[in-house]
Amino acid sequence: MTIDENLLVLLLALLLDRIVGDPQWLWSRVPHPVAIFGAAISYADQQLNPSSLTGSQRRMNGVAAILALLLLAGAAGFVFDRFFALFGLAGILLETGLVAIFLAQKSLADHVAAVAVALRDEGLAGGRSAVSRVVGRDPETLDEPAVCRAAIESLAENFSDGVVAPALCYAVFGLPGLLVYKMLNTADSMIGHRSEKYIDFGWAAARLDDIANWPAARLSILLIAAGAWIRRGTSASREAVRVAMRDGGLHRSPNSGRPEAAMAGALNVQLAGPRVYGGVLVAEPMINNPGRDMATAADIEDGVSVFYASCMVLTGIIFGLFLCFL
């Protein structure tokens, strides 16, 4: 596809994902592409990551596995791109549908907003259950402000790697780039953590994912600041940038702290801090420590409002670029 066609597809995909989201009626009948990626990653894990190997052997196998998986994803993207190109306008619409599948605007906002609803309707137990669907930390360790912080953190982090990064990869590299990114991001979530089993085998996936998400995490700061300006005014926008610049590096991830700090500044709340994953305490400093220490369900809703405004700004930028390349 030409660059103007790529931008048109991305623009339509962002609009489609914003309106339709992730249709469960479809994925209850056919496997989601990310589930297919996950099955491939699990197969590589089973075949190449036995406990009998040394750490260096597992690391080498992990490098080989992720490179092979990314090559397959890129090849699949190229084949789909060439196939869709045969059908003109119909091909553009088919590619739009495929790209929309890999974006996460409505589905992410719906899952995060459900945490606020559950807290109000069912109390802390309902909030813990709802937030367990969007974060990996142990929900039983969370009080109500911690549930709210976890939901807002997930919203901000996934804005970067679930919306901005795939949109950026598609805009620059087309369908092959998008599929490579989603394979890598899925691998990072499955094998990129620092457990005994994956600290070596998942090393390459985690490092490559850090590199792939670096541009999107920084761009997300500006988009969240723009969304904050639309929904909460100039002061919130300025705070989003200021806190992101000051506290974005406090997170253990080189990328996740950037959008989280921007959202913390926009909402004037503390985020991150000590939390428990799989029974293990992760001790990190608070992001935006001068902010309010009691996040509420209303803050989740305000975060979703800023998130949607930020998505709108991203869509507007793509529309502007499309007009420039016409």
Q: What is the pLDDT along the chain (326 residues), one digit of tens a residue?
A: 788 899 999 999 999 999 999 888 888 888 999 999 999 999 999 999 999 999 999 999 999 999 999 999 999 999 999 999 999 999 999 999 999 999 999 999 999 999 999 999 999 999 999 999 988 777 888 899 999 999 999 999 999 999 999 999 999 999 999 999 999 999 999 999 888 899 999 999 999 999 999 999 999 999 999 999 999 999 999 999 999 999 999 988 899 999 999 999 999 999 988 776 666 666 789 999 999 999 999 999 999 999 999 999 999 999 999 999 88
**Which residue in 261, 80, 258 sits closest to 179, CA to CA?**
80
For residue 278, the model assigns a pLDDT of 62
Place of tokens 């700061």: 221
- Phi and psi, residue 283, nearest 5°: -95, 110
For residue 60, the model assigns a pLDDT of 98
Q: How far is CA 5 from the centre of its chain?
A: 25
What pTM does this model have?
0.95
Instruction: Locate the domains of the chain by residue range.
Output: 3-325
Phi-psi region of 280 (alpha: psi -120 to 50; beta: other; left: phi over 0): beta
Integer Cα distance of 264 and 293 in angstroms: 11
Integer Cα distance of 69 and 61 in angstroms: 12
For residue 90, the model assigns a pLDDT of 96
